[in-house]
Structure 1
Amino acid sequence: MNDTRLPELPSGDEIAVRGLYRRMLEGWNRRDGAAFAGPFAVDGEVIGFDGSGHRGRSVIAAELGRIFADHATPRYVAAVRRVRALAPGVAHLEAAAGMVPDGAEELDPGLNAVQTVIAVDAGAGWRIALLQNTPARYDLRPDLTEGLTEELRAMVGRGPEPA
């Protein structure tokens, strides 16, 4: 049997990938489309909570800028679950994220999500190639929904820094 193991991700690279994710969330929480898009590769992509897609850093910045101008967007809290290498110069970050609606003190469990980031380093530093934002509904598993909500609820008020 051919056991293909993924490469190890050096700790400095893991720190860099976590930093990209943190900067992206901070941009969202500041309602700044350019800051949100800044960590993305020039041809990076976002697949949103609603399934919408945006390709290219400039398109992501413009679309998020429009959203922030037209809507009172909730702020993120997040917990990074793991960061691992997929191949040399390619990393996968998985996080659980929750959102606190504008003006609210409490998390809205209906907005909980699992976020997947694929980051690449093609020699010029790490960048986000893809953000996939998937609703964390956990159909038929209310215990998982409640557990995630409680974990994220404990993070509300601690700022945008993902754990």
Structure 2
Amino acid sequence: MADDSAVRDLYSRLLDAWNHRDARAYAALIADDGTIIGFDGSIETGGKEVEEHLAGIFADHPTASYVAKVREVRPLGPDTVLLRAISGLVPPGADDLNPAANSHHTLIAERHGDTWRIVLFQNTPAAYHGRPHLVDQHTTELRELLEEQQPRLP
């Protein structure tokens, strides 16, 4: 259970770093050989590359803020954990989700000593082609969380 809690916290810190547009804090959570796969399919490896990529994104335009719900946390080995979540984004200045930006998050974390680091974070669009009821279900579930978290969003 301690691993479960630690990896949930790691994921929460990742989203907080994004929501606060803090490329350095985000990158610090990535293993030296860790990879992120963005919503648009871009791939960045290692903290330095991730930080440079995100710094450019944050400098170019205001980014939306994440709302997410963890679906699963399970060990893959003694020092490796998988986390899956659903997420949505609230555009800058808005107070509701943009359903077109719904996604699934997959995070794999490894423990090195007492520290958990992300070796893979994948942000996959949740378009649910031809199944609008799944878009509605995804969005409704996150809206419930949004109502609880509203004061926490930047």
Given the alignment, which residue of 6, 10, 18 partners 1:20? 10
Task: Within 5 Å, give how 1:112-127 maps onto structure 2.
Answer: 112-127=102-117
One-letter identity of the residue aligned with 1:122: H
Given the alignment, which residue of 9, 33, 50 partners 2:40? 50
Q: Of Structure 1 and Structure 2, which has the larger fraction of its residues in helix? A: 2
Q: Could you list the per-position Cα deviations for residues 26-57 of structure 1 after superposition, in whole angstroms to 9, with x for gaps in the alignment?
A: 00000010111121112211000000000011
Distance 1:90 1:134 in 2: 21
Task: Find the residue that maps to 1:140 and give its secondary structure.
Answer: coil
Task: Find the residue that maps to 2:145 and give its secondary structure.
Answer: coil
- Give the TM-score of the pair, scaled to structure 1: 0.88
Count how many residue pairs are aligned between Structure 1 and Structure 2.
150
Distance 2:25 2:143 in 1: 25
Q: CA RMSD in A?
A: 1.2
Task: Within 5 Å, give how 1:1-163 maps onto structure 2.
Answer: 11-157=1-147, 158=149, 159=152
- Stretches of structure 1 lacking an aligned partner (at least 5 in a row): 1-10
One-letter identity of the residue aligned with 1:91: V
- Stretches of structure 2 lacking an aligned partner (at least 5 in a row): none
One-letter identity of the residue aligned with 1:26: D
Distance 1:130 1:62 in 2: 17
Shift in Å, 1:69: 0.7
Identity across matched positions, percent: 47
Which of the two has higher C-alpha Rg?
1
One-letter identity of the residue aligned with 1:24: L
One-letter identity of the residue aligned with 2:2: G
Runs of 4+ in 1 over 4 A off after TM superposition: none
